[in-house]
Amino acid sequence: MTLRFKQNKLPGKRSIYLLKHKSVAIGSTLIVMLAFLAIFAPYLTPYDPIEVDLYNNIQSPSWEHPFGTDNLGRDVLTRVIYATRIDILASIFIVGISMIIGISIGIVSGYYGGVIDKVLVGMMDTFLALPEIILALVLVGALGPGLFNVTLALSLLGWVKYARVSRGLALSIKEKEFIEAMKAVGVNDFYLLTRHIAPNTISPLLTLAALHLGHAILSLAALGFLGLGAQPPMPEWGAMLNEGRIFLRGGWWLSIFPGLMIMITVLAFNFIGDGLRDALDPRMKEVVIK
Amino acid sequence: MLKSILKRLGIVILVLVGATALVFFMLHYIPGETPDVIARYIFIGNIEIEPSNEAVALISQYYDLDRPLVVQYFSWLGEALQGNLGMSYKTGQPVLDEIVIRLPATIKLAVVSILVSLIIGIPLGIVAAIKQNSILDYICSTGAVIGVSIPNFWLALLLIMVFSLYLDLTPVMGSGGIEHMILPSITLGTGMAAVTARLTRSSMLEVIRQDYVRTARGKGLPEITVVVRHAMKNALIPVITIIGLEMGHLLGGTVIVETIFAWPGIGKLLIDAISQRDIPVIQGCVVFITIMYVFVNLIVDLSYSIFDPRIRYER
């Protein structure tokens, strides 16, 4: 059994309470819709996202092609829908890996303290001394372009915020009686860290994770836009904008729709993140052991 | 004060050494055979062609790549401290010269973008706070969330489409007069303006409830005097931090914006160097970007104590 702190008292079931929060509700609705697009992509459109159809290139939006077609005659709506899969999955991957690395480093640093803490905090400061996108660029420059490398680079760089927050949490959790009690009965550190300290850091990190999801999509698309991310013909929003950029004058739809999708997705995650922050405001926090 | 500045400077130097080491090992370790990569990218210009063993050996010897990585790093660091960042693989020019030529353009763009963001963000934040929970507040807050969520590269494309291609008011790209600055600085300033507006609003809301503001109102001062002279002055102190916090986004943003608008700054140099695998140039750009980032944050921290006498760095 894992002991958990109750972060704050929310009336009724927490999830239902959160959905009543307006911005969380709007954000969640948008995400559900995007997830629907991603999951049912092949059933939603009759076209193929990659197959070239040169007879129909650069057509403005019409009934057959609501978002028009690109320079290779591919339906832009289809590509935008398929790209939802890639962008959202990649960003979930980035946030997941970042969280795992961040929590591991953070709780080890906070729990052990001393020299280990000093070294790990120094490492966090070093990573924070460089803008994330610059580090990502360098790492991608070293690994070479490609969707996988970009995702990997962003996964390896996103951990610092989680580490800082979970370090602080670990510092306070380790002083609690139940941890003292477990140490007294000889529970080993690994078990204590993974089963009792790590789970208690997750819920305060959710706000961070929601905002990070939006941020990850922006970085992913930015690198895609610079030609370093997903390579053609793979449909990815940033890469699509990069391909469409040459046709700004004659094909506005190539640049409008993928960007609009990025904005909607990021907006949805930011709405959820902001709402969560309001609802789980640390100033309202009341630490109660269930 | 002096002691705290010196202590901060010491930390800054440690962080700089750490950051350059991080980038150095990333660049040199991960691609495996660096001389092989250099031969393919720089000398042959075609990554498909395999370079001969002699060529690789020659390059490795010429650029001192045959020594252990740690030795390479410290010799680079030693040279860098004397102002020598090495030679560009591509052009053969000293890296420092290439960067110094481009630095003013980036600084100009960054400063103008910060100004744009403050000019847009601060008034919006103040208005939203004074008219809390009104339609105006709602519009400002929603606008701020949208401003944070909009990808800057997309905003750049939209601005080019509307102002350069459709209305024909501004040049599409390049650098030169004031007219070339407009679109890039709006692109970079928008995201920051949104963050500034949010922070100004929340800080203003806190200040406006203070006793001295109530006293000012009680004295019968006109509302505008209360807001500008009493509340705003104090509310804007935390906003200074924005400039430090957002510097990272700004420098990251310049990379993208400079590429789109063909602005001849350090960001464009970095992107070009990455696509050509010109490692000394990448390394040099990162050093300069880190220095700018770290020092702006240092200055922001220290300026705090000037603007807010309650904070002094004596510890």
CB pair distance less than 8 Å for B150 and A270: no
User: Cβ(A133)–Cβ(A150) under 8 Å?
Assistant: no
Q: What DSSP letter does each residue of A57-104 carry, written as one string?
A: -SPPP-SSSTT-B-TTS-BHHHHHHHHHHHHHHHHHHHHHHHHHHHHH
pLDDT given for residue A209 in this prediction: 92
CA separation for the pair B108, B178 (Å, rounded)? 11
Instruction: Tell me the sheet residues that pair with A289.
Output: A5
CA B142 to chain centre: 25
Written as six digits, the tokens of A264 are 């909607």
Average confidence (pLDDT) over A166-180: 87
User: Cα-Cα-Cα-Cα dihedral of B108, A239, B41, B52, to 10°?
Assistant: 170
CB-based contact A151:A94 (threshold 8 Å): yes
pLDDT of residue A290: 25
Asked if residues B109 and B254 have their Cβ atoms less than 8 Å apart, the reply is yes
Q: What's the gap in Å between the CA of B75 and the closest CA on chain A?
A: 21
Tokens standing for residue A287:
């630490």
**Residue with more model confidence, B214 or A95:** A95
Percent of chain A clearing pLDDT 90 (strictly above):
31
> Which pLDDT score is estimated for B315?
41
Does residue A261 have a pLDDT over 50? yes
Buried b (16+ CB within 10 A) or exposed e, B62-90: ebebeeeeeebbeebeeebeeeebbbbbb
Nearest to B251 among A131, A139, A270 (CB): A131
- Residue B6 in tokens: 């010196």
Q: Which residue, among A34, A87, A138, A272, would best test binding to B if mutated, counting the most B CBs under 10 Å from its CB? A: A138
* Rounded Cα distance, A1 and A277, in Å: 28
> Does position B56 have pLDDT exceeding 80, yes or no?
no
**Chain A contact probe: residue of B69, B153, B167 with most A CBs at under 10 A:** B153
C-alpha–C-alpha distance, residues B307 and B202, integer Å? 19
Query: Among A44-48, A213-217, B122-126, where is mean pLDDT lowest?
Result: A44-48
pLDDT at B314: 47
Distance CA A138, CA A153 (A): 9
Residues 224-283, chain B: which have Cβ within 8 Å of A?
Answer: 247-249, 251-252, 255-256, 259-260, 270-271, 273-275, 277, 282
Give the mean model confidence (pLDDT) for residues A142-156: 88
**A88 with A36: CB under 8 angstroms?**
no
For residue A169, give the nearest of A212, A198, A131, A140 by alpha carbon.
A198
Residue in B14, B149, B274 closest to A137 by CB? B274
Domain count, chain A: 1
Distance from CA of B213 to the nearest CA of A (A): 24
Which residue range(s) make up the domain with A60?
3-289
CB atoms within 10 A of CB A200: 21
Give the C-alpha distances (Å, rounded to integers) separating A93 from A156, A215, A276, B205: 11, 13, 21, 38
Give the lowest-confidence range in A158-167, A274-283, B16-25: A274-283
Q: Are A158 and A216 in contact (CB under 8 A)?
A: yes
Mind telling me how many Å the CA of B202 is from chain A's nearest CA?
Answer: 13
Q: What pLDDT does A287 receive?
A: 32
- Chain A nearest-CA distance from B253, in A, is 8
Q: How many CB atoms lie within 10 A of CB A166?
A: 30
pLDDT grade, residue A285 (50/70/90)? very low
Q: Residues near B195 by Cβ (< 8 Å), separated by ≥ 6?
A: B117, B121, B144, B147, B148, B242, B245, B246
Among the listed residues B78, B98, B79, B80, the one whose alpha carbon sits nearest the alpha carbon of residue B88: B98
For residues A196-209, average pLDDT: 86
Tell me the CATH number at A54: 1.10.3720.10
Q: What is the pLDDT of residues B15-47, one digit of tens each?
A: 788 888 888 888 776 555 567 767 776 666 666
Q: Over chain A, what is the mean pLDDT?
A: 84
Q: Give SS3 for A234.
A: coil
- pLDDT per residue over A16-32, tens digit each? 666 667 888 889 999 99
Q: Is the ipTM reported for this complex over the cut 0.90?
A: no
Check if the beta carbon of residue A268 is closer than 8 Å to that of residue A34.
Answer: yes
